[in-house]
Amino acid sequence: MNTDILSSFRPALVMTLLFALLLGLAYPLALTGIGQALFPSQANGSLVVDGGKVVGSTVVGQAFASERYFHTRPSAAGQGYDGLASAGSNLGPASQALHDRVKADLQRMQTAAPGRPVPPDLVTTSASGLDPHISPEAALYQVERVARVRALEPEALRRLVAASIERPALGFIGEPRVNVFELNRRLDALGAKPAQ
């Protein structure tokens, strides 16, 4: 009877080990190798190196707190843009915590630009909490503040935002968006000094 049980389990054990090796080891290694060979920058996080130092990523958002820069949308990932804690906040429309945070963000935004409606993506988080993009309207909303702090002409910044708009893929997949990290790098490239 023992031999019957062992002979019955042997194919199941062999198949389990085979598929564990195939799908748990060989397949991930093959995909990693293909990614590294064909798309090395993307496979390594689309990191941007400046002066031999990694300064950010074009696919993972990061917080810009200084008034000299365009700000990203709020992040619910950990303490904000934490890649190890990528997730939404799971706060629903009836959540008082969400209501209070959005209300405080709205008041802060309206103080910076009174009388103008605040674009929704400046007060709402993305599903992953790591989205590096904002809408063109959200970027244009911040032009006056950044221009004032950097002593630049607002029209020059509007042109910079317009030049930074990424169009939908194939003309219809996605929405127009602005990568905040890349926009702020272009802003720094203008070489303007902050107003004193």
- If one compares 31 and 84, the residue with the highest pLDDT of the two is 31
The arithmetic mean of pLDDT across residues 149-178, rounded, is: 93
The arithmetic mean of pLDDT across residues 27-44, rounded, is: 91
pLDDT, residue 2, reads 65
Cα atoms found within 13 Å of the Cα of residue 99, Cβ hemisphere only: 4
Pairing of strands 133-134, 47-50: unpaired
pLDDT for residue 88 is more than 80? no
Share of the chain above pLDDT 90, in %: 42
The arithmetic mean of pLDDT across residues 142-153, rounded, is: 92
23 — pLDDT class (breaks 50, 70, 90): very high
- If one compares 56 and 176, the residue with the highest pLDDT of the two is 176
pLDDT for residue 147 is more than 50? yes
What is d(CA 137, CA 178) in angstroms, rounded to the nearest whole number? 9
Question: Which residues 6+ apart lie within 8 Å of 59 measured at CB?
Answer: 42, 45, 46, 132
pTM, to two decimals = 0.75
pLDDT for residue 117 is more than 80? yes
Task: For the chain, give the mean pLDDT.
Answer: 86
What are 121-130's pLDDT values in tens digits? Answer: 888 888 777 8
pLDDT, residue 1, reads 55
Give φ, ψ of 77 to 5 degrees. Answer: -85, 105
pLDDT for residue 60 is more than 70? yes
The arithmetic mean of pLDDT across residues 15-33, rounded, is: 95
pLDDT, residue 194, reads 44
Q: What is the DSSP string of the chain?
A: -HHHHHHHHHHHHHHHHHHHHIIIIIHHHHHHHHHHHH-HHHHTT-EEEETTEEEEESSS-----STTS-------STTTT-GGG-------TT-HHHHHHHHHHHHHHHHHSTTSPPPGGGTS--SSS---EE-HHHHHHTHHHHHHHHT--HHHHHHHHHHHEEPPBTTTBS--EEEHHHHHHHHHHT-PPPP-
